[in-house]
Structure 1
Amino acid sequence: MKRAKEYLESLYEKYLLRQCRHVPKHIAIIQDGNRRFARESGIEVALGHRLGAEKTETVMDWAHDIGVTHMTLYCFSTENFRRTKDELGELFTLFTEKAIGIVSDERVHKNKIKFQMVGDRNLLPKDFLEKIERVERITKDYDHFTINLAIAYGGRNEIVLAAKSILQETRKGTISPEEIDIQTIEAHLYREQNIPPVDLIIRTGNDKRTSNFLPWLANGNESAVYFCAPYWPMFRKIDLLRGIRMYDQRIKNDPSYFP
Structure 2
Amino acid sequence: MSLRSFAENLYVHRLIRQLTHVPTHVAIIQDGNRRYAKAKGKDTAFGHRAGAEITMKVFDWMEELGVIHTTFYAFSTENFKRSPEEVNELLELFIEKFSEMIKDQRIYDKKVNITVIGDRSLINDRLLQKIHDVEEATKDHHHYYLHFAIAYGGRNEILETTKSIVAKVRAGELSPDLITPDCVTERMYPEVEMPPVDLIIRTANDKRTSNFLPWLANGNEAAVCFCVPPWPEFRYVDMVRALRTYDQRMKV
TM over 0.5: yes
Equivalent position amino acid for 1:121 in 2 = R
Instruction: Map 1:2-13 to 2 at 5 A.
Output: 3-13=2-12
Give the C-alpha shift of residue 194 in structure 1.
2.0
Q: Which one is further off, 170-179 or 14-23?
A: 170-179
Shift of 1:69: 0.4
What's 1:40 paired with?
A: 39
Question: How big is the shift at 1:11?
Answer: 1.5
State the Cα deviation string for residues 38-81 of structure 1 (Å, max 9, x = none).
00111111010000001111101100111100011100001000
Cα drift, residue 200 of structure 1:
0.5
Aligned mates of 2:120, 2:69 — CA distance in 1: 21
* Deviation of 1:176 (Å): 2.7
SS of match in other structure, 1:6:
helix
- Structure 1 position 3, deviation (Å): 2.6
Report the equivalent of 1:58.
57
* Residues 230-239 or 161-170, more deviating: 161-170
Secondary structure at the aligned position of 2:2 is classed as helix
Listed as ranges, the matches of 1:7-156 within 5 Å are 7-156=6-155
d(CA) in 2 for partners of 1:5, 1:104: 36
Report the 3-state secondary structure (helix = DSSP H, G, I; strand = E; otherwise coil) of the residue aligned with 2:75.
strand
Which ranges of structure 1 fall in alignment gaps of 5 or more residues? 254-259
Q: Which residue of 1 aligns with 2:176?
A: 177
Q: Displacement of 1:178 after TM fit?
A: 3.4
Question: TM-score, normalized by length of structure 2?
Answer: 0.97
Whole-Å separation in 2 of the counterparts to 1:175 and 1:104: 42
Q: Please report how far the alpha carbon of residue 190 of structure 1 lies from its aligned counterpart in structure 2 after TM superposition.
A: 0.9
**TM-score normalized by the length of structure 1:** 0.95
CA distance in 1, matches of 2:176, 2:199: 33
**C-alpha displacement at 1:29, in angstroms?**
0.4
d(CA) in 2 for partners of 1:178, 1:246 = 38
The offset of 1:107, in angstroms, is 0.6
| Percent identity of equivalent pairs | 52
**SS of equivalent residue, structure 2 residue 67:** coil
* In structure 1, C-alpha distance between the alignment counterparts of 2:3 and 2:43, rounded to whole Å: 31
CA deviation profile, 1:82-125 (whole Å, cap 9, x unmatched): 00000011001100000111110011001001001110111101
Q: Which amino acid aligns with 1:132?
A: I
Q: Please report how far the alpha carbon of residue 18 of structure 1 lies from its aligned counterpart in structure 2 after TM superposition.
A: 1.1
Task: Give the SS at the match of 1:221.
Answer: coil
In the comparison of the two structures, how many residue pairs are matched?
A: 252
Aligned-partner SS, 1:48: helix
Extract unaligned runs of 5+ from structure 2. none
